[in-house]
A and B are shown apart, each in its own frame.
Chain A
Amino acid sequence: MGNLINTIPVYKPQTTQTTATNSVSVKAPAHAIETQFPQYQNFSYLPAEPLSPARTTPKGMKPHSPNGYLVKENIFQSAASTVKSYADYVKYFYNAAFKGEGTDYSVGKINDLAIRTGSLGIAAVLATSKLFPFAKGMEFVGLATWFASMAVWPRVIGTPIKMATGVDINQKYVDSYGRRKNFFEDPQYLAWDLYRHIDKNGNFNKQAPDYEKLDAIGDKLGIPRDIKNRREAIQDKMKQIAIQGNALWMLTAGVMTPVISSIVADSLQKPLQDSIEKYRTNASSKKAVELTQKVDSLISNNVNDYPTIMKSLGITVDPKVKTKFEALLGGESNRINPDTFKDLEKFISERYFATGIESAITKEMKDVMDAAEPYVNITNNFKNDLRQLTADAIQEVVQMVPEEKRGMIPKRFLDYKGLKIEEISKALEESGVRFGEEEIGLVKQGSVKNLLARKVIWTVNEEQNVDKSLLEALRSHINKKTESYFEQVRFNKVDTEKMKKIFDFAETNLSLKQQLEEIQKATIMNISESTTAINWTKVPKKYLQALGLSKVEMQEIANTDSRHAGKIISRKFEEIAANSERYGKVLNQMSKYAAEAVSKEEKAVIQLLGTADNPGLMAKIQELMTRSASRNFSQLMTDNIENQYTMNIRSVYQKLTNTIDSFTRPIKALDTFKDIENIADKILGSNVDQFRENLKNKPIYYMFLTPNKENKPEAEFLSQEYSRARTALKAYIKDIVLQKNDINDWSTKMEAILPGYKKGINHSKTMLWNIANEVNGSISEDTVAAIMKECKAENEKNIIQRFIKIADKSTERMKFHFMGIHNKIWPHANETNINRGLVEKVFKQKDFGEAYEKVISLLKDRVHDLGRKETFKCLQMVYDFKDKYKDAKNYNVDPAIDYIVSKLNYSIANKPLAQRSGKNITDFVISASENACARNKWSKLAIGLLVGTGALTLGTIALMGRKNYFNKDQYEPLNPKTPEGVTK
């Protein structure tokens, strides 16, 4: 305001009020304005008084008594006062936004408030967003860590600055208006007066010497004591440091805020993930238990009507959907006009899309209700309407003929009064509708139409004297009219009661499907943060650690093709297998992780699927839905719903076997590596003599021989060939164990190691079969013992033992898998034959002991693959044979055996087994290494930025407060002769 004086020569003439200035008056030197504009010397500026009633009007000039103070509070107190101040900010916002009152300070605080509120809004939006539930959760955490690190960083750099120089760049003060500010925020306006009564400990103390604290800081800063205006020199130095600190803060905050927030969020991820997983699995398990109980009671009470089922399961249909459905049905008439019927079909296909029963409902409607095509009801009214229609048609056609030509129309035509009722009945009869029948269908409507037209024409043209074109016009007119009449009276037959039942059934199914999905989401679904997903991120990482792959090795594995990666892995495995102490340790760790992961998943799966004797939730829901469908609808619907659930159960089970197989495979592979000499012994023979024997018996072994071109003596030649064959075979086994479980791959590779006579796989099938038997199947006893030796607690032993049992079962399945799929090339040795032998033992040799039990348990094992219906059908056959028919003469056992064997055969009944066999080891290790490398890259960047910026920060802090380009640090001695005297 003051500069108005020299910028505006004329403002408003006012009388000078000399008393307005301060009493401490120093005569100002004559300024340019006074010499340049002498004519204005008598004017001085008084602000014009604003006349609006706003509060900004200056009211009285009474000075405020200064009552500002420096803030001294710890981190919690400061957090509390921050929260408290937000209440003030809301007030500021109200005053500013609705009244236009405020100051720069209060408006600036509104910005703070808006940023926090906006972030909360963003967090809420993200938290409720659909994509990646956990990733979103992490964004939420990330947002929090972001703000935290934003708030924390100035404190972090403030601490070493304070330690080095004594200046606290985060010092806050409260001014006379009660506003909290950073002391050093505006370097051109520093309220040094507030330091007057601060003692050297930083406390307010009126007894202490003035500015004791500042002097103490000055000493720490090394400001000489014997200079003029020392306090001001100290203040300027402090100002320098504060400016440097603030600039450093702004320079580094952009890097450090995301880095700290990323690191903190990352380290929070694991504990958060664990607790979220625990919470979610517990919640889903609780949900499953509750649902199981409800379904149980419905099954045991034999409840089959849907309203009761829905009520007891707590299923409510969205009223909007229900209203829409009922509107489409249109009351109790059992009739729907064709357009509405189309809408109804659309409604069903949209609402029940991908529930698996949508097509069944449509079929049920078409085949059982006969609702697919429109009908017309034959009543007396209908016939009368048709009579009237024909009469009208004649008149209308006559009207079409020009006036002057009407005379040519025969009288019989003009007088026509329409078809008689009997004639119409006859026409209907001729069209194929049996007389007395109530309805005609869509197809017959066309012929009715044509017959009517023909009959009318026949009648009016009995004398053959009507013009042909007139007759044509009449025919088409009648057709058109009938068409539109049919359009009005047509309807689709819909059994309203049944449709309502179907609706309830479908809604129940939909809701149960959603509930099951909810339960699965927490456990075995392929979505982030499910148990399965977490297992799959954790276990491979742990395996890598257990295997002891170095960073370089991981990098190599991640960045090369699978062939080369396989070599590195193979080398690692050999290393481990060679060192029996390490072998036990590694396997112990691996099986521990696997056991933990598998048992979690298994628990969830058992809750959902149960066993053959003790069905789980999904099996129970299947039973409930199937039974109620069979009571209410046709077989079609019943079969459909049953198959649907069988499929769902199978896919859930596949998830588990996939996990088990993938996690077991590396363990089994290490087992094979360890046992490799043994396997080679078994296959080739343990010494040259045995090898020679084998050569005699099995032609395949000849393929291991190269032609004896140099005509070496037999013993020497054989021993050379034996050791070569052995090496090749061992390399081959190692390779196939680490690579794909693909028989074509196996046989191609087998041929590749045979040096001599490559005659195709047929010759090596026995050997392959033997090898498959060796590398699949149970984990060897030695290995189990080595794992157990490393167990520390008894509890651990139990867990691992349990896991090994599951793992053995899984590898056993793999053995069958190989045999089964390739029974074409191994006709003499496949599971069909093994199982056939077993089943025949029961049915032919009537072995109701071991074989019987084995068949029963095999069948029960397959309940999730086959479905309960099939399994129990087979079981019933076995039970019945034992209990009723074993002695029956005319019981034909062969079809029974065939049927059961076909169901036991993995390769036929269980196509997805090939898909379900888990990841091969090379891929498993490659992807784990890739993840680890990506993580390493992240940590390299994050730690690099952290260290780099940290070093820069510390370096800058070390230079703070020093003499530099901007601060020359030249002081004027107080008294050059006496070096004493502290200025105060």
Chain B
Amino acid sequence: MVTVSKNLVNYVNNPAAIGSFSASSTSTKSYIDKNLKEKEAKKENNHIYKKDTLLDDTISEKMRVNWEKTKDIPLKHFPRGLGGAQDYTFFEFLQTAKFPYYVGGPILAALFYAGVNKNNFQAAKAAKTVAKHMALGVALYYVGAAIAKGIVNKTVKWTRGIDLNQPYARAIPTSTNQTGVFRKDTEYHKVFESADFTRWDLLYNHDGKTPAEINERYSKIAKRYGIKEDASDVDSTVKPLIKKTIIMARAWQYALTACYVALGIGLANQNPWNKESLAGFKRTVKDGIFGKGYNIKDRLHNAKIAVYDYALKPLGRSFESFWKGHNKASSIAGKTVIGLTGLATLTAISLLIGKTSGRGHKIVNKDGQNNEVQK
């Protein structure tokens, strides 16, 4: 076993490696030819990020990060994984796990479509209806998942000032990274992705001179948590609350996703969508909005038709028919899913607001006295 002090040194050399023992493996590889090791280490360090960097919390930056992450899946993570790179991480495994998620659906659809007899009008029509519901189901599946995540994220952001999607770039040291062209020098993570190893350090203002300046972000967050400004060690005070928030938010994100996805699939399978809403939507958008020979007023009118008549109206109707059902079982299923989704949403929001608050906690204020309950 390496000693704690050795670990410390490693952390100092390699600040990104927190939370794992990766650093230790580099130091003891004595079975590897020393010459080789030196040869490999010669590569010039051309990092974009010299150290772990908090990224801007803007939509454009998030989009760039997502694009980089997606691009890395086929270009870095798969080649490195298939080659068995020694410095392959769990993060990379999780990234590759997204691949089947994206590929599986289209392949299933392709298999379904290949089995359809396109010559037989009736069969083709029936299959078309099924395919339509299938496509809509997939769309509403993603919409449902996005809504569930959005509800939680927005609630946390508005009430506690924390963006759970706040990205940061992790600089990967080349000393543990000997894989040439497939070398990864950056991993894009989220600050709050881990409850156990939250990157608290990134939230400090490293250029600050005084504790108040250094803790600037924490003070802001603490205020949103209802902690008075005179709290001593505002960062330590608010960290457990943030951790609690992260755990609660993640749990509810998963739970709500299950609810909303079931709701989406349920809505997609209702009859109101059969009334040519998808075809109508497509036609109206293609011809009515982007087609030739309309003035702006007509185009706006057509846009309204596309959104209202072909999307919102059938959505509303399908909601109604999902609730009512066509027999006892389906009516119970519909009411349960809708009811459960509504209930879960309200519970999630109220718990996220109510239970993460710092009000009512015992807080040590600056003069060292225990503040009783603050109202």
Contacts and interface: CB of A to CB of B under 8 A. Distances in A.
Contacts of B356: 100
A436 B330 CA distance: 61
Contact of A942 (B9, B111, B327): B111
A258 B361 contact: no
Contact of A930 (B100, B119, B348): B119
Given A243-B81, A964-B83, A186 B361 contact: no
Contacts of B105: 258
A118 B255 CA distance: 8
Interface in A434-485: none
B305 interface: no
Contacts of B80: 247, 966
Contacts of B293: none
Contacts of A934: 114-119
Contacts of B36: 968, 970
A52 B34 CA distance: 51
A966 B82 CA distance: 10
A716 B93 CA distance: 90
B258 interface: yes
A803 to B, nearest CB: 27
A187 B250 contact: no
A972 interface: yes
A811 B311 CA distance: 53
B29 interface: yes
A971 interface: yes
Contacts of A22: 3-5
B328 to A, nearest CB: 9
B18 A3 contact: yes
Nearest to B97: A250
B12 A966 contact: no
B84 A960 contact: yes
A414 to B, nearest CB: 63
Given A247-B82, A930-B119, A230 B20 contact: no
Given A7-B201, A228-B30, A186 B337 contact: no
Contacts of B366: none
B196 interface: yes
A101 B80 CA distance: 36
B222 interface: no
A236 interface: yes
Nearest to B258: A118
A131 B245 contact: no
Nearest to A931: B117
Contacts, number: 341
Contacts of B129: 131
A318 interface: no
B43 interface: no
B206 A114 contact: no
Interface stretch (A104-112, A351-359, A629-637, A647-655): A104-112
Contacts of B6: 26, 28
Given A125-B265, A941-B114, A24 B3 contact: yes
A965 B180 contact: yes
A662 B330 CA distance: 38
Q: Which of B88, B236, B239 has the most CB of A within 10 A?
A: B88
Contact of A966 (B110, B179, B358): B179
A3 B15 contact: yes
A8 B30 contact: no
B78 interface: yes
A964 B21 contact: no
A943 B244 CA distance: 49
Contacts of A972: 30-34
B351 interface: yes
Q: Which of B11, B15, B77, B107 has the most CB of A within 10 A?
A: B107
Interface string B25-48: 100111111101000000000000
A971 B37 CA distance: 12
B70 interface: no
Interface in A217-246: 227-230, 232-233, 236, 239-244, 246
Contact of B257 (A118, A127, A967): A118
Contacts of A958: none
Nearest to A232: B31
Interface in A243-257: 243-244, 246-248, 250-251, 253-255, 257
A103 B86 contact: no
Given A98-B355, A931-B117, A122 B244 contact: no
A937 B107 contact: no
B18 A5 contact: no
A246 B83 CA distance: 11
Interface string A1-14: 11111111010100
Given A107-B251, A968-B36, A188 B89 contact: yes
Interface stretch (A43-51, A778-786, A816-824): A43-51
A96 interface: yes
Interface string B68-103: 000000000110111111111110010011011111
A484 to B, nearest CB: 40
Contact of A48 (B93, B101, B236): B236
Contacts of A964: 83-84
A409 to B, nearest CB: 60
A967 B119 contact: no
Contact of B248 (A4, A100, A240): A100
A229 B28 CA distance: 9
Contacts of B118: 934
A25 B337 contact: no
A261 interface: yes
B261 interface: yes
Contact of A49 (B34, B179, B182, B236): B236
Interface string A696-739: 00000000000000000000000000000000000000000000
B280 interface: no
Contacts of A2: 7-8, 11-12, 18
B84 A941 contact: no
A107 B247 contact: yes
B195 A558 contact: no
Contact of A100 (B25, B247, B271): B247
A126 interface: yes
Given A100-B245, A103-B196, A938 B21 contact: no
A186 B78 CA distance: 16
A137 interface: no
Nearest to A263: B111
B114 A101 contact: no
B261 A28 contact: no
Nearest to A184: B93
A87 interface: no
A105 to B, nearest CB: 8
Contacts of A945: 107
A128 B329 contact: yes
B237 interface: yes
B133 interface: yes
A338 interface: no
A188 B363 CA distance: 39
Interface string B236-260: 1101110111011011101101110
Contacts of A261: 108
Interface string B106-146: 01101110111111100100100110010000000000000
A465 to B, nearest CB: 65
Given A131-B269, A188-B20, A942-B111, A241 B84 contact: yes
B120 A930 contact: yes
18 contacts: A2-B18, A26-B5, A96-B247, A96-B250, A97-B252, A103-B196, A104-B197, A132-B130, A228-B31, A229-B30, A248-B81, A254-B100, A254-B102, A931-B120, A938-B114, A961-B84, A965-B179, A970-B32
Sorted nearest first, the 9 A-B pairs with minimum C-beta distance are A247-B81, A118-B258, A254-B103, A100-B244, A240-B84, A254-B100, A121-B262, A48-B236, A96-B251
Given A259-B107, A934-B114, 12 more contacts: A51-B237, A54-B240, A97-B348, A98-B351, A128-B329, A128-B330, A232-B30, A233-B31, A251-B82, A258-B105, A937-B114, A966-B84
